[in-house]
Structure 1
Amino acid sequence: MRCPDHRSSASSEPDTADAAACAECARWLRASHRLDELAGQAPGPSESWTRGLMGRLDAALGEE
């Protein structure tokens, strides 16, 4: 398996991609897992941001 193929497979199935084909892919996979971990810890948007977005969506759809 070539590196781009391995990375594509690891991206689509991160839970099953434990072993990397080469050192570069192993580094890429560790960075990918770290990014997933950090993204999971990030706070979501604030309530005021969400209200503003929903208001703009309603206005765009003509549901005011």
Structure 2
Amino acid sequence: MSDPRLTAIEEALAHQAATIEDLSELVRRQGDEIDRLTRRVTLLMMRAAEAEHDAGGTVPLADQKPPHW
């Protein structure tokens, strides 16, 4: 016969292991999404800087201070 306490501990451990796997997958997907978004922001900043330069602006948009400064 198995001890009910041991069974409860084993069940809890199995649930925790499944939760850890789910969270690890979520963190991996979020990391991929952050990488993708970082690349997009970089590309957009480059495009904005090029547009600013082509328009004859004096300071690239990325180097300008926010208006509240």
TM range, smaller chain: 0.3 to 0.5
TM-score (norm 2): 0.34
